[in-house]
Structure 1
């Protein structure tokens, strides 16, 4: 297993200011502590308290603060000379109260030693490390056993989360595929009757349900609807040769107008400015889904409820079945050579653009790598996919971003066994923080493409900073899976 590098604070503009605020408050607390108590003990204690949240997180800082105050009161009461017998009795009761305060601290926050620039040091009295319960610890802390125990606990929590929130029974998968296939057949039949002049190819099922990349709250499937374009009339223009200058996109230009004038192709009705418009095709299909198809009748025959999503930016059907929930995305596609183009998945200023899709290559690469070493890359993706979908900021990163981060990590990390699941999930998130820090996640199949290019800098900052804070918590699983 390769050694993980310590997680360092990202250099996001906003997060940097927040970090500076924290450091400023820490320095202020340190200076105030020195003025209150000029002794060496007071300075060290105040400095630790001021910086505890940066090192241990909120819960760790709270525990350290309680323990430190109790120890300070214990020392003050023990070392102050009593004036009379009443003071002695009061001092003894106060000492007992101090020990009771210490006994309330039953757990110590779990801090990964590799995340600290300096190792944690235990309080030392008389050259011997002290333990809150037994009083003495061995001179050398069992760091290896501690790390193994923490990883095991995190591993158990990830496996439990996968079992409770990610895994889907084979019966539900089979039902979802059968239901999706029936609805796809009804849609294809309607297209042939409504638009017989448009040469759509045979629609087929794709997506996470078909590839076992699923979540328990809904099953996701895509209806891939090929557009059969005449090769002699249409030419793919790479994105780097267009106005957007981005290889993530492409444009399909109408050619041969001098020999085959406009109207010679049934797809000419969707041409805008000399290019096949993905936006125009989307609008036509959306109107068909919302207003033309009698979904209540189709749903009744299939014993489910089918509702089209009204948002014009989405070609989506939501299906409610007594046993499952199914989300269906209709994806018109253009295939030119080895490139697959889909309508853009986010808002762009140019309506004639088509976005390159790497989904088939992504899934194929993950499955091939897992087959070679019996790895858990797909399981890791499933867990992180569900976690991200349920977060207000992280949901802006899709499964594709996670997949490419896993594929990049697979080039340097060789241990993808089930026992290393928690380590790999954590490592993928740490790598994502580094990609967000520089604002670039290169496509695994074409390094010229930045998969974060569609996000605003403020969105990248929100995702990166909140993800970094979650990773900085003493217990990763508590911040992600609970």
Structure 2
């Protein structure tokens, strides 16, 4: 296989257009206020790229007029001094303090009303997800009593208090127990695939322990444990065979498999629609490999190295060491992206890594610095989008923006550019 380069080069923008946009938006803020500047920004985007999603324009139209008036008044209070030729030296600090206070008010109001989930809602969805885990575990034990599986559990953002807006996603973890004397986990850099996140699980010691000694030998492809073969088996055994109507009746909600895709996914309908993903895991010390063919295609025997546990643990450690607000900033950024159509394609991993990178340079993450860090994150993210690359904190060779299209990058960058000087427009 040819060696692949997973570093993304710098994307060149059109400097002339950028200068014009900068001039328009800067002056629009002084004359029109925040609401007018935001609308002008969208109008400029329409001229720049005619492929703006209809949902994006509809989102602007559905924003209440009162919100724009409120934001415009805030901007006028903060910027009135810019109209004075000789502002008094003792006035400017008070106005700057007012701006910071206003952004903090917007931030916390958004955090508690949009980003933070109700504990009752979280417990309800967690309880339902654990009930589904119990049903699947019991079915597998009955159908395949000799299959060496660990205890199924709940994982992901819902468990780690990083889910935002709605508790509509749960991750069900199915750990595989592989014998350390028969299997070796090989880092991606050491494989023919060369991808740092595509690991392989090789069968070893065949001369002493021939094929058939391990339960998992039946899923060997070319001497390696095939994630695709295992996912296909679990799909037929669980998704297509379990009596989901009976389980739905027992759990008092609708639970049904989502068939036809590479993921093991369940749709759950209870008041609102939500989804659960079933992930196969191989654990070895601090390494977590997941069987996700949608991420490792076209290689049938590749496993995906999950960096999520490392990222989440590092953020928690940093906040615990200095009583910081990194996780609050991350949840707010995730909620902003989830609610804003232009920013919705942004995955959560780049946002977490952005904060980890910023923590290397900034030590003050107290509540008092909240508005500064939030604005910094916006500015930093614009820079990463302009470069077309945001490298993983733990695996710098991995570009976390590589899955985004050029059109998505352009639209996200422009939306964030509109909010760079007035971040309140993201917190509506």
User: Offset at 1:445?
Assistant: 2.8
Contact 2:158 2:167 (C-alpha < 8 Å) held by counterparts? no
Aligned to 2:414: 466
Aligned to 2:206: 257
User: Structure 1 unaligned runs (5+)?
Assistant: 1-10, 27-49, 67-105, 114-119, 124-128, 130-136
User: Offset at 1:333?
Assistant: 0.6
Aligned to 1:329: 277
Instruction: Count matched residues.
Output: 382
Aligned to 2:11: 12
Contact 2:265 2:278 (C-alpha < 8 Å) held by counterparts? yes
Contact 2:184 2:203 (C-alpha < 8 Å) held by counterparts? yes
Equivalent in 285, 291, 294 of residue 343 of structure 1: 291
User: Offset at 1:240?
Assistant: 0.8
- Pairing 1:76-91 to 2, within 5 Å after superposition: none
For structure 1, which segment, 343-352 or 365-374, has the greater mean C-alpha deviation from structure 2 after superposition?
A: 343-352
User: Offset at 1:238?
Assistant: 1.3
CA deviation string 1:368-426 (max 9, x = no partner): 22222222212111111122223445333322221121122122222222233332222
- C-alpha change, 1:168 and 1:460, in structure 2 (3 Å) is closer
User: Offset at 1:299?
Assistant: 1.8
For 2:297 and 2:74, how far apart are their aligned partners in 1? 50
CA deviation string 1:264-283 (max 9, x = no partner): 33222322222212222222
- Is residue 475 from structure 1 mapped to residue 425 from structure 2 by the alignment? no
For 1:360 and 1:51, how far apart are their aligned partners in 2? 40
- C-alpha change, 1:170 and 1:354, in structure 2 (3 Å) is same
Contact 1:166 1:215 (C-alpha < 8 Å) held by counterparts? yes
Higher RCO, Cα 8 Å, sep 6+:
2
Contact 1:53 1:60 (C-alpha < 8 Å) held by counterparts? no
For structure 1, which segment, 402-411 or 255-264, has the greater mean C-alpha deviation from structure 2 after superposition?
A: 255-264
- Pairing 1:354-373 to 2, within 5 Å after superposition: 354-373=303-322
Equivalent in 395, 409, 416 of residue 365 of structure 2: 416
- C-alpha change, 1:459 and 1:285, in structure 2 (3 Å) is farther
Alignment partner of 2:126: what SS? helix
Aligned to 2:229: 280
Aligned to 2:185: 236
Equivalent in 234, 251, 254 of residue 302 of structure 1: 251
For 1:353 and 1:459, how far apart are their aligned partners in 2? 30
User: Offset at 1:334?
Assistant: 0.9
- C-alpha change, 1:329 and 1:460, in structure 2 (3 Å) is same
Equivalent in 101, 114, 139 of residue 190 of structure 1: 139
- C-alpha change, 1:297 and 1:457, in structure 2 (3 Å) is closer
User: Structure 2 unaligned runs (5+)?
Assistant: 1-9, 37-71
Contact 2:198 2:304 (C-alpha < 8 Å) held by counterparts? yes
- Pairing 1:313-462 to 2, within 5 Å after superposition: 313-322=262-271, 326-344=274-292, 346=295, 348-392=297-341, 394-452=343-401, 454-455=402-403, 458=406, 461-462=409-410
- C-alpha change, 1:389 and 1:194, in structure 2 (3 Å) is farther
- C-alpha change, 1:282 and 1:56, in structure 2 (3 Å) is farther
- C-alpha change, 1:226 and 1:383, in structure 2 (3 Å) is same
- Pairing 1:196-235 to 2, within 5 Å after superposition: 196-235=145-184
TM-score normalised by the chain length of structure 2: 0.78
For 2:370 and 2:345, how far apart are their aligned partners in 1? 24
For 1:383 and 1:319, how far apart are their aligned partners in 2? 26
Aligned to 2:55: none
Aligned to 1:157: 106
- Pairing 1:124-139 to 2, within 5 Å after superposition: 129=85, 138=87
TM-score normalised by the chain length of structure 1: 0.70
User: Offset at 1:355?
Assistant: 1.5
For 2:295 and 2:31, how far apart are their aligned partners in 1? 41
- C-alpha change, 1:214 and 1:241, in structure 2 (3 Å) is same
- C-alpha change, 1:461 and 1:326, in structure 2 (3 Å) is closer
For 2:367 and 2:74, how far apart are their aligned partners in 1? 28
Aligned to 1:181: 130
For 2:250 and 2:372, how far apart are their aligned partners in 1? 47
What is the alpha-carbon root mean square deviation over aligned residues?
3.2
- C-alpha change, 1:111 and 1:285, in structure 2 (3 Å) is farther
- C-alpha change, 1:266 and 1:391, in structure 2 (3 Å) is farther
User: Offset at 1:61?
Assistant: 6.3
CA deviation string 1:281-333 (max 9, x = no partner): 222223334321122211211222213223522222232224x6543221101
- C-alpha change, 1:289 and 1:387, in structure 2 (3 Å) is farther
Query: Which is higher, the Rg of structure 1 or of structure 2?
Result: 1
